[in-house]
Amino acid sequence: MTSPIRSRAEIVTAKRIVVKVGSSSISGENVGQIAPLVDALAAAHGRGCEVILVSSGAIATGIPFLNLDSRPTDLATQQAAAAVGQNLLIYRYQDSLRRFKIVAGQVLLTAGDLENPTHRGNAQRAMERLLDLRILPIVNENDTVATHEIRFGDNDRLAALVSQLVRADLLVLLSDIDALYSRPPLDPGAVKITEVAFDDDLGQVEFGDIGAAGVGTGGAGTKVAAAKLAAGSGTPVLLASTGDVGAALSGAAVGTWFEAKRA
């Protein structure tokens, strides 16, 4: 890791950034958000930053191609949807990245891979080589073979583990809302939280879901847990809306900033 990033204003100096986007932000009626997301990633890449994208969305992308009306509940059909959807998802990203002459590299992992020393070492070497070659890695959970993770997991934790793996300067968690709030943002009295100190346990926050029902699996609680995991390893985290990704990667005053543990 290079010199620590202490504030949003320093984001433009980051040498390595992990960006995570959820299913509901880039699938279904929101598939059009892929292009502006890629615009923001390409801008960071263009200034010399190494960018890793952790993208959910394989199952959600595959659902309509299996003639299903909603997310399947059985594991085998979820795996089938993931197998179809992952192919289409990577194609959509690469098709958009082609405008900038950036090549994507697909990396499929499970959280378990990053807890196994051999698998972790292999993944780290592969990721480092991709970044050396100026390839933009796109990481997703390997939903076709996942079991527990596919049912109960989310990619927020995976993104935090990837940020640890590559010793990122910053983790950006994108969501359907613009920041963390003291309670679900549509509830009366909800207050936006713009800064979270490392030692703040957020005991005053009432967590609700983030994401379109039936598509994504994460929520505010999973994002905070992931942010705390990354911050505990020295990587600051910005939680922001997918629509604000360009501003977020430019250092604008958006989202919720999670302060990292100081060495």
Q: Give the residue ranges of the annotated binding site for substrate.
A: 56, 143, 155
Type of residue found at 235: T
Place of tokens 């970044």: 131
> Which amino acids are annotated as binding site, given as ranges?
20, 56, 143, 155, 175-176
3-state helix vs strand vs coil in the chain, percent to 5: 45, 15, 35
Beta bridge partners of 217: none
Furthest-apart CA atoms within the chain: distance in Å? 51
Angle between helix 75-97 and 34-46 (nearest 10): 50
Phi then psi for residue 53, to 5 deg, are -105, 125
CA distance readout (Å), 261 to 204, 232, 258:
21, 5, 10
CA–CA separation, 3 and 12 (whole Å): 13
> Which amino acids are annotated as binding site for ATP, given as ranges?
20, 175-176
CA–CA separation, 108 and 243 (whole Å): 25
Spell 218-257 as b/e; 16+ CB within 10 A means b: bbbbbbbbbbbbbbebbbbbbbbbbbbbbbbbbbeebbbb
Residues 6+ apart with CB under 8 A from 129: none
